[in-house]
């Protein structure tokens, strides 16, 4: 990696990755303009890297305390400045960690997302520089994330629920968009599972409760919450939803700032300057209109493609996304082999993905690169979950597969 020597570059450029390899530095025009403006105003005091690191850190701390918009531009400058520290932290740690499935790019993105946490923890009155402190902090962040990922990947849903606290679950449910009233039943189910697990006397690897286990859990729940009558199916659905949100909360998907979006922009293009002009405002309004139109088209395309699937595929999607049944549970209920369910679900997603790819090529002129396909696949998964989330329709039993 070629180190940045120019002061303006150090506070206005970001690393770009091609796969897991560096491809160069990307210039952010707004940050560059901001640095040039500040250097003109401060003149003689503007030549030192240490000066500008302390300058933007103090601005960030003051703006953070006031909770005003200036925190954004200062944080962006500092995020650019700490790019090299973050990259070398990822490189150094991966050399030390044996049997890690992480890549430098993944670890870099995990750490750089925590820049606000590093800025809050660093005391500018101490002699240690922000760059030196951040490298140690980034290594700790990456180490914790890799350890957490390893633990989460090893755990099934039932073991994972025993590893988290009530506070972590509540934060995970809040992050999913649920309000306090909607969260309460999930917390009740979680507390019931923790208390009931001691009565199940499970030994060895933790698995899904058997029929007797569900009887104990349901009885315990109804005793603690007599105003809410619940059965085993409903309780299992609540617990699986809790596990799903906890997994997403503890190990979220990390996306590079250089990942292409449907609007043919990169995520780092969303970094904004507080000095908005009327022209910038008009551009933002136009972009919002375009996005709403594209979102409407996307919903129409996927809804039409969904209706064109054969009834069997539609039913399997409902069972999987609406009732949150596993492939094994669906196969058991339908008296078929699990591989048959897996094959039909994969085919249904493939057909929907093809429809979405055709639309992105025709309407947005986006070439189907591996990164774009991965992003669109994630978008399709999110759309399917949202589509069936509030549906109360019971899926019909399909004919023989």
Do 195 and 283 lie in a common domain? no
Do 146 and 72 lie in a common domain? yes
Give 42-101 pLDDT, tens digit per residue. Answer: 765 556 888 898 889 888 888 877 766 556 788 999 999 999 999 998 888 887 765 556
- Residue 134 makes CB contacts below 8 A (sequence gap 6+) with 82, 85, 86, 89, 118, 122
Do 127 and 165 lie in a common domain? no
Give phi and psi for 16, each to the nearest 5. Answer: -115, 140
When divided into structural domains, the chain yields a total of 3
Are 60 and 78 contacting, i.e. CB atoms less than 8 angstroms apart? yes
Do 122 and 162 lie in a common domain? no
The alpha-carbon radius of gyration of the chain (Å, integer) is 25
Give 196-210 pLDDT, tens digit per residue. Answer: 877 665 555 577 888
Do 150 and 166 lie in a common domain? no
Percent of the chain with pLDDT over 70: 75
Report the pLDDT value the prediction gives residue 62, as an integer from 0 to 100: 84
Report the pLDDT value the prediction gives residue 97, as an integer from 0 to 100: 63
Do 69 and 136 lie in a common domain? yes
Do 36 and 149 lie in a common domain? yes
Give phi and psi for 311, each to the nearest 5. Answer: -55, -35
pLDDT band at 262 (very low <50, low <70, confident <90, very high): very low
Do 25 and 142 lie in a common domain? yes
Q: What is the pTM assigned to this prediction?
A: 0.42
Average pLDDT over residues 299-323: 88
Are 199 and 213 contacting, i.e. CB atoms less than 8 angstroms apart? no
Range of lowest pLDDT (90-94, 332-336, 345-349, 374-378): 374-378
Range of the domain at 235: 157-250
Do 125 and 48 lie in a common domain? yes
399 inside domain: no
Among 154, 182, 217, the domain-final residue is 154
Look at residue 374 and tell me whether its pLDDT is greater than 80: no
99 inside domain: yes
């Amino acid at each position: 990696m070629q180190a940045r020597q120019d002061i303006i570059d150090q506070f206005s450029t970001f690393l770009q990755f091609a796969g897991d390899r560096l491809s160069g530095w990307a210039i952010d025009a707004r940050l560059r303009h901001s640095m040039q403006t500040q250097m003109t105003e401060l003149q003689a005091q503007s030549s030192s890297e240490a000066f500008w690191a302390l300058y933007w850190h103090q601005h960030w701390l003051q703006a953070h305390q006031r909770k005003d918009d200036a925190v954004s531009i200062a944080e962006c400058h500092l995020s650019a400045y700490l790019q090299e520290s973050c990259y070398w932290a990822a490189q150094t740690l991966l050399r030390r960690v044996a049997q890690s499935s992480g890549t430098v790019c993944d670890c870099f993105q995990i750490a750089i997302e925590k820049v606000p946490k590093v800025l809050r923890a660093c005391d500018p009155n101490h002699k240690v520089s922000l760059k030196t402190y951040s490298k140690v902090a980034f290594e700790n962040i990456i180490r914790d994330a890799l350890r957490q990922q390893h633990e989460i990947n090893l755990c099934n849903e039932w073991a994972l629920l025993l590893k988290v606290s009530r506070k972590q679950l509540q934060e995970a449910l809040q992050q999913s968009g649920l309000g306090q009233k909607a969260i309460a039943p999930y917390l009740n189910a979680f507390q019931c599972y923790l208390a009931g697990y001691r009565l199940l006397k499970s030994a060895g690897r933790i698995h899904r409760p058997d029929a007797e286990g569900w009887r104990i859990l349901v009885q315990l729940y109804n005793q603690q919450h007599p105003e809410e009558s619940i059965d085993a199916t409903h309780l299992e659905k609540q617990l699986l939803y809790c596990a799903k949100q906890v997994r997403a909360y503890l190990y979220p998907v990390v996306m590079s700032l250089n990942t292409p979006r449907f609007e043919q922009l990169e995520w780092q293009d969303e970094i904004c300057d507080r000095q908005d002009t009327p022209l910038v405002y008009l551009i933002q309004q136009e972009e919002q209109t375009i996005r709403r139109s594209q979102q409407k088209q996307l919903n129409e395309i996927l809804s039409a493609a969904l209706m064109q699937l054969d009834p069997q595929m539609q039913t399997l999607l409902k069972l999987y996304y609406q009732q949150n049944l596993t492939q094994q549970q669906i196969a058991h209920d339908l008296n078929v082999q699990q591989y048959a369910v897996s094959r039909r679900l994969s085919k249904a997603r493939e057909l929907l993905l093809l429809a979405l790819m055709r639309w992105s090529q025709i309407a947005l002129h986006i070439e189907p690169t591996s990164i774009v396909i991965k992003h669109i696949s994630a978008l399709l998964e999110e759309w399917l979950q949202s589509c069936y989330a509030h549906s109360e329709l019971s899926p019909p039993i399909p004919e023989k597969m």
